Structure 1
């Protein structure tokens, strides 16, 4: 007799995650019908204490193809690659490269200073440095008596 209880909901959640991962890896990123699935770049967000660092994989993009918008509480990345229209060398045997646009917004848990943010792009990797705003400091009020 086992003292541990079986949790069918946990097993079902694990199964659902596996199915979602399978779909994403096989057809989710390159589904042949526009609008059915949207490609989004892989993103890492690091908390370095006094700043956030966001790194996004954008292979095939040029800096002119990318727009970054920062607010006090989020960073948004948009990009677009136009499809090559005139291919005259031959017919495709395999066509897997992505074309089109993407948009990604990353919420931040600590306010940042938009005016001090900076970015750089090298070897298909976009890096955005987001300095954190100083935390609002409170004070203890003295109670006046008459």
Structure 2
């Protein structure tokens, strides 16, 4: 549904979706489904990453963008195991998205429970006085 209050947000989301088509693709490369929500204090990004360990996940926040990447190595095969089908091999996912507000990147934290990654990024708190600079007219 179009965003009536900010039409530029619709354009930005369109470019994000189009840009994902240019990311590297191949066997195992898939998108990460995310929810982005916002409170007065925080921006919260929730991502589904089932089947990964915490050590497999890399989260980076820089320049107003959040990037989530995860890579899982293939499971080891024992000599006495004969597979009829083997689909659980190396898998990589990556998602980069624009954050809807300025955030304190160094104060962000992330938790991973039951296949769900939750990243909380505190918003930059600004005073109304600091939003501009008064210029004296002579």
Q: Which TM-score tier does this pair reach, normalised by the shorter chain?
A: 0.5 to 0.7
Residue of structure 1 aligned with 2:102, choices 92, 111, 117: 111
Flag structure 1 segments of 5+ consecutive residues without an equivalent. 1-33
What corresponds to 2:21 in structure 1? none
Alpha-carbon shift at residue 41 of structure 1 (Å): 2.1
2:29 is paired with a residue whose SS is coil
1:78 is paired with a residue whose SS is strand
Moved more, 80-89 or 57-66: 80-89
2: CA distance between counterparts of 1:46 and 1:140?
Answer: 34
Alpha-carbon shift at residue 81 of structure 1 (Å): 0.6
* Larger RCO (CA within 8 A; separation ≥ 6): 2
What corresponds to 1:138 in structure 2? 132
Residues 1:92 and 2:78 aligned together: no
Flag structure 2 segments of 5+ consecutive residues without an equivalent. 1-24
Alpha-carbon shift at residue 130 of structure 1 (Å): 0.9
Residues 1:128 and 2:122 aligned together: no
Q: TM-score, normalised by structure 1?
A: 0.64
Contact (CA 8 Å) 2:65, 2:96: kept in 1 or not? yes
Q: How many pairs align? A: 110
Q: TM-score, normalised by structure 2?
A: 0.68
What corresponds to 2:16 in structure 1? none
Name segments (4+ residues, structure 1) moved above 6 Å: none
2: CA distance between counterparts of 1:52 and 1:73?
Answer: 11
